[in-house]
Amino acid sequence: MSTVRVVAAFIRRDFRIHMSYRLSFVLQTGTIFFFLALYYFLSQLVDEQEFAASQNITGDYFDYAAVGLALLSILQVGLSSFSQKMREEQTTGTFEALMATPTSPSLVVLSSALYDLLRSTAFASVLLATAVLFFGLQLDTDPASLAVALVALVGCLGLFASLGVAVAACTVIFKQTAALAGMIVSGLALLSGVYFPTDVLPEALQKVADVIPFTWGLDTVRAALLGGEVDTSRLAGLFGSAAVLLPCAVIGFTTAVRRARHTGTLSQY
């Protein structure tokens, strides 16, 4: 019960702080339209039939990119939010106050980005809805397909959180890690087929792309929402990765906090 109270307190806190920056909220929502328009016109350059046939989906390049962008927006937040929150707590002076409470460091770090993850999921949903309403994205709305997409999304969230907590652990020790998060997001976007199919990559990179769990999550969500065939082994691999990586990341974060306690750098930024 106490855990639920703590998680709810973090969500309420971040919602209120976020709502106190109203203009940023409005502008962020406004960027969705322009972002999608960019990919809509870009997709006019790609042969629809040929692309759909090669990618195990029923839609065109715009549909492919829209689903990729939706998931990437969650990945970006999932990966950067944990470390960004820790960094904010460090620079605003609240990190030590948090670490002096009876709440465990692992619960603090996991709860700290929960609101951002929920918000980014809502943002991704709005992105897809905008793509459907204004740009003709055709999603498979069969309940079974939506359920598979939702399950894959949960697996992706677990995976993103594990990477995000690992970066947050680095933030506790090294302080400035925004570039690290940016590098991981860019690397994953490049190798996982967010903007383009992985089969255009050199063969060696295709092999790397094939063993990245984010690729499995993206392929599963795309297949479920765009009428393709879902590979259940990839979905299982996604959950297996998240189940292993998330506890490892939490242990890493706890270890980082312990090291900062030892070096006396918990309150430094």
Q: Would you say 3 or 44 has its CB closer to another protein?
A: 3
Give 198's contacts (C-beta < 8 A, 6+ positions apart).
Answer: 191, 192, 205, 206, 209, 210, 215
Smallest Cα–Cα separation from 238: which of 75, 100, 95?
75
Q: How large is the greatest C-alpha to C-alpha distance in the chain, in angstroms?
A: 61
User: By C-beta, is 33 or 269 nearer to another protein?
Assistant: 269
Q: What's the closest the beta carbon of residue 114 comes to another protein, in angstroms?
A: 14
Q: Where are the alpha helices (H) located in the chain, listed in sequence order? A: 2-19, 22-43, 48-55, 61-92, 95-99, 105-112, 114-135, 143-174, 178-191, 203-210, 213-225, 232-263
How far apart are CB 96 and another protein at their closest, in Å? 5
Closest by alpha carbon to 219, among 203, 231, 205, 237? 231
Nearer to another protein, 207 or 258 (CB): 258
Contacts of 257 (CB under 8 A, 6+ apart): 99, 105, 172, 266
Give 91 or 232: the residue with its C-beta nearer to another protein: 91
Structure tokens at 206: 């295709």
Least distance between another protein and beta carbon 86 (Å): 15
Closer of 54 and 92 to another protein (Cβ): 92
Nearer to another protein, 98 or 132 (CB): 98
Q: How far is the CB of 258 from another protein (least distance, A)?
A: 7
Q: How far is the CB of 254 from another protein (least distance, A)?
A: 12
Minimum gap (Å) between residue 1 Cβ and another protein:
9
3-state DSSP of 239-263: HHHHHHHHHHHHHHHHHHHHHHHHH
Count Cβ atoms below 10 Å from residue 166 Cβ, excluding itself.
Answer: 23
By the criterion CB under 8 A, which residues form the site for another protein? 2, 5-6, 8-10, 12-13, 16-17, 20-21, 92-94, 96-104, 108, 258, 261-264, 266-267
